[in-house]
Amino acid sequence: MKLQLSTILFMLTIFITIILQPSTTTSHPFPPISGEITYIRTSCNTTRYPETCFTSLSKYSSTVKHDPNRLATAAIHVALTTATHTAIYISKMPNNTTDIAAVRDCSSVFVDAVDEIRKSQKEMKRLGWIGESVRFQLSNVQTWMSAALTNEDTCIDGFDDVEGDVKREVCDLVVVVKEVTSNALALVNSYANMIPV
């Protein structure tokens, strides 16, 4: 029961952090215009997890406006924040569990996932500024975000032969990260499809 309560508290903390976290760009003192919220909703409807997408990104509507680049960048920011918090949490799990090998493997691949998402965020900030084509840079982002998703899946796969509270706790956390990462990748893909060849 203690692990389940800690999982619930951790997931609540991540959710509150994502929802209440201030934007990384300048925010506007006025509430978002209805069209800006509609843009987020419509864009999120193209993702695999539209409700998670809308909930995590709607607070960025006044910054995103109707800009697919800003929307993809905000989604990557949410994925990075969520993955980082989860990676830290998993790395601090007790070492005395019978599931220690699965936890260590998961922690290791999560470090890689965070690194891939961080590279993606950095590349999105440099789009069009470093002499490479935007399409090439977005291709890098797509590759890194896909790799992050693979690492997140690998974490869950490591618990295939494990039963119990630790498996449920870790897998519940990772599912949330996978959703926001998948959504970010979908929004990057949508943006990339708008760029002329």
Domain ranges of the chain: 34-194
DSSP of the chain, one letter per residue? -HHHHHHHHHHHHHHHHHHHPPPSSPPPSSPPPHHHHHHHHHHHTTSSSHHHHHHHHGGGHHHHTT-HHHHHHHHHHHHHHHHHHHHHHHHTS-TTSTTHHHHHHHHHHHHHHHHHHHHHHHHHHTTTTSSS-HHHHHHHHHHHHHHHHHHHHHHHHTTTT--SHHHHHHHHHHHHHHHHHHHHHHHHHHHHHHS--
Position 33 scores a pLDDT of 56
Those residues of the chain that have pLDDT short of 70 are 1-33, 95-97, 130-131
pLDDT per residue as tens digits for the range 140-171:
999 999 999 999 999 999 999 888 888 999 99
Distance CA 52, CA 85 (A): 17
CATH class, domain 34-194, is mainly alpha
pLDDT of residue 30: 45
